[in-house]
């Protein structure tokens, strides 16, 4: 089973750069999208439906903001929109599909880079979400949490760890949360398989950061411990350039 996670930074804008063509060529079983910035009716999903995908979306109340989606070749048993908390769900950040022997979640964790208010929101989200997914992992046969975490976990995951030591996305308290998240029963397959590989999934649009590979690894497909033995590959795809992010993929037995 192959899954792809991709923050598209506006699905309609990404489509003008060939998003659908690239995704369909990859032939994944599951596709998690973040920051779609569109309601479901505002995007032409027919190429995916014709390719056999079931389409599920979760949009923010605010038009043109946030939003996640999951495209699945296998029809889910259950689709869970949001987490049951209005202060999170109004921003369209979480969507989960349950199957017989695993569940797959697309999550767009908040950014705190715009100021103190949003950083406080981010930390409140993280506090809630950590306990939420731990409870899910104990109830479900297996859980994949795919998405934009907006956190670089380790120094290897960011191009300038010293200069960004006080930047949102690499703050000590955010990195500590990631430690705790993994300690709650999750694995980061990319880092487990590639302990010394430098790979980034997001680059600022400013100062030619992508051309200089001055990036951050903030997109993940973490798996609950019950699925860890099934992981066969985890990769980052920087050649896909439909967004300021790039896709990350995971392969399971």
The residues annotated with a catalytic role in the active site are 108, 148
Pair 22, 49: CB distance under 8 Å: no
CA distance 37 to 213: 26
Q: What is the DSSP letter of 153?
A: -
CA distance 217 to 60: 25
Q: What is the DSSP letter of 65?
A: S
Question: Who contacts 69 (Cβ-Cβ below 8 Å, separation ≥6)?
Answer: 11, 31, 32, 33, 36, 55, 56, 57, 58, 95, 106
141 is written with which tokens?
């046969």
What Cα–Cα distance (Å) separates residue 91 from each residue in 86, 177, 246?
Answer: 9, 21, 22
Listed residue (70, 28, 7, 43) closest to 233, CA to CA: 28
Output the CA torsion sign for 138, 143, 149, 153: positive
114 is written with which tokens?
């715009």
What Cα–Cα distance (Å) separates residue 103 from each residue in 3, 43, 91, 242?
Answer: 12, 25, 22, 27
């Amino acid at each position: 089973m192959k899954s792809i996670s991709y923050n598209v930074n506006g699905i309609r804008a990404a489509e003008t750069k060939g998003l659908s063509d690239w995704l369909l060529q990859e032939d994944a079983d599951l596709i998690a999208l973040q920051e779609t910035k569109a309601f479901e009716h505002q995007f032409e999903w027919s190429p995916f439906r014709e390719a056999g995908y079931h389409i599920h979306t979760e949009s923010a109340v605010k038009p043109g903001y946030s939003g996640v989606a999951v495209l699945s070749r296998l029809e889910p048993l259950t689709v869970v929109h949001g987490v049951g908390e209005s202060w999170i769900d109004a921003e369209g950040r979480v969507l989960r599909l349950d199957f017989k022997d695993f569940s797959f979640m697309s999550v767009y964790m908040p950014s705190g880079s715009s100021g103190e208010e949003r950083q406080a929101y981010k930390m409140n989200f993280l506090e809630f979400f950590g306990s939420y997914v731990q409870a899910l992992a104990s109830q479900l046969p297996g859980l994949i949490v795919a998405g934009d975490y907006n956190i670089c976990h380790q120094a290897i995951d960011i191009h300038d760890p010293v200069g960004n030591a006080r930047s949102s996305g690499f703050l000590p308290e955010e990195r500590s949360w990631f430690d705790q998240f993994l300690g709650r029963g999750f694995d980061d397959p990319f880092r487990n398989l590639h302990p010394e590989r430098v790979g980034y999934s997001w680059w600022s649009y400013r100062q030619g950061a992508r051309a200089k590979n001055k990036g951050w690894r903030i997109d993940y497909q973490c798996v609950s411990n019950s699925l860890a033995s099934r992981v066969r590959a985890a990769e980052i795809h920087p050649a896909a350039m439909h967004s300021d992010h790039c896709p990350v993929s995971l392969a399971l037995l």
